[in-house]
Amino acid sequence: MNLSLNFTLYEFTHTDTGLANDPPDAAIDRLSLLALSLLQPIRDYWGPLRITSGYRNPAVNQAAGGYPTSQHALGEAADFVPLNADMDVVFDWLVKMSGLKFGQCISENKKRRRWIHISLPRKGKPNQQALIYDGKEYRPYV
């Protein structure tokens, strides 16, 4: 099932944990919005992206070490790695130039793995929030 021109539902639900990870319909709707409004425009500009994590049901989220309140658990967030572009450049573009409306955009670095986390805007919480995570703490990106 395609969510947008270049993204399939499978890319957002596939997990290496071996656990079942089928999203409910409401989460599929949010993943569609996530793909259409954020990942596809990023892909259009920077070329192919590898989605390393999208939707996570509670068991998968726990296995991934995610917070229970993670937007991943709602289908509102994805982690990705640009395949043909520098991650720092893409991250800076997302925050300062892209004009895309997001909840959080986080440059994450954990156990020598790096990726960008991006999520849909949130109700009642800060949006356009840009953070750097070094595996220990979050700090604002300016």
Positions that interact with Zn ion (CB under 5 A): 79, 117
User: What separation in angstroms does the CA of 47 have from each of 40, 50, 76, 86?
Assistant: 10, 10, 22, 11
* Cβ proximity to Zn ion, 3 vs 118, nearer residue: 118
Interior CA angle at 16 toward 85 and 130, to 5°? Answer: 45
- Cβ of residue 101: shortest distance to Zn ion, in angstroms? 18
- Cβ of residue 119: shortest distance to Zn ion, in angstroms? 7
Closest-by-Cβ residue to Zn ion is 117
* Cβ proximity to Zn ion, 43 vs 117, nearer residue: 117
* Cβ proximity to Zn ion, 46 vs 115, nearer residue: 115
- Cβ of residue 81: shortest distance to Zn ion, in angstroms? 12
Are 98 and 91 a contacting pair, CB within 8 Å?
no
